[in-house]
Amino acid sequence: MYVGTLSFDLLLGDVRSLKEKRSVVRPIVAELQRKYAVSAAEVDHMDLYRRAGIGIAMVSGEAGHLTDVLDRCERLVAGRPEVELLSVRRRFHGEHDD
């Protein structure tokens, strides 16, 4: 069994309130969940309206499949024109990790 996570640190474009922030972040989270069957949520910078932290997690029986899906998720978020991807943190836990 393999578990992979991604943490995205995002700078949002022309956003002036937390309500506008939700209207940008929620569709990204929903698309990740729908397209790739990953667990996804806003996890950081909850009180800042121009920053967002999105976390995703996935479990797979194959390391290659997990890596492929995480790569696709990263490309999806990086390709969104309404956000600037500041950083991505990837964690990968395999069956031989202690």
State the CATH number of the domain containing residue 46. Answer: 3.30.70.1120
Is residue 28's pLDDT more than 80? yes
Q: What is the dihedral of CA 67, 55, 29, 2, to 10 degrees?
A: 30
Is residue 53's pLDDT more than 90? yes
Give the structural domain span for 70. Answer: 2-93
- Rounded CA-CA distance 61/9 in Å is 28
- Rounded CA-CA distance 70/5 in Å is 8
The count of structural domains within the chain is: 1
Is residue 23's pLDDT more than 80? yes
Q: Is residue 65 a part of any domain in this protein?
A: yes
Is residue 16's pLDDT more than 70? yes
pLDDT confidence of residue 94: 84
Q: What average pLDDT does the structure give for the chain?
A: 93
